[in-house]
Structure 1
Amino acid sequence: MSNRNVITLVVLALIAVEGNALYCYRCNSNSPGCGTPLNWLWYWGETCPEYDDKCVKIIERKGAETILTRECLSSVRGFRTDIPADKYEGCRPAAKDVRLGHYVNNSITQLDIHRDYYDEVTWCFCYFDHRCNGAAGLTISVSLLALIYFARGLI
């Protein structure tokens, strides 16, 4: 095996390790293929805008109706006030904002200004799983490819 091949494999491994973009599914269950189960052929995942982002799945239930929202945390942080304080890996109930809609005098009852339409809202955070990761799967693939290549040269 030549030195050129070894250098090429080392450079590929270093490039794969440096990938720090977080890929998350970004869709709503009202869209086809985004419900349960998720059709990953339609939604391959997109990169999140911030470097320290987390993937979230918001599960909103009202009776038999369930709405799933898959998104990056930084994308929903601007308009959702019910984000739990604990954002570690796992699922938690939504936070209750008692001041939300407090100073609004609105006679239209269909507007959900207090965000109390849903009986149960659950937030699930992930940043270690598949499609919630920092491109670590590519590093394993390049390392495995290098191992196979070196083993083939030894045989």
Structure 2
Amino acid sequence: MMKYEISHNFIPKESKPTVPVDTKFQEQNKALQDENNKYLSTIEAYERKIDEMQEELFHKENELNEALNKITSLEDSIKNFEDLKNDLDKVDHFKVETNTLSKKITTLNEENMVLKDELASSKQHIQTLYLMLLILAVL
């Protein structure tokens, strides 16, 4: 057998004070934890909805940008079509002027033919008068 020396400076181990467990506080704590869990799940649901709404907003912004690009493209097309319409109006105006000038040319050609005939007739008349003058001069 071994002999242990005994120390006379023995300090007893501190004991934990026993807290009376009150069931009322436990029930309140349980109720508060349940309420907290309910609020946490509600917050998570709202966060999911917010994420979904942000994603939907992102898609809507993309659609809006595409629509704005399409509107810009259509406005450019409209401007091009208006320019083409103006060009067509000018071409139509030129056609009308061309037709008018063609009619004037035709009229002037007819007058020219008439004047050529009159000139030929006048030349023939003048030759006849010269011939008569020559005959009179000989007589």
Range of TM-score over shorter length: under 0.3
- Between structures 1 and 2, the one with greater helix share: 2
TM-score (structure 1 length as normaliser): 0.23
TM-score (structure 2 length as normaliser): 0.25
Tell me which of the two structures has the higher relative contact order, counting C-alpha pairs closer than 8 angstroms and 6 or more residues apart.
Answer: 1
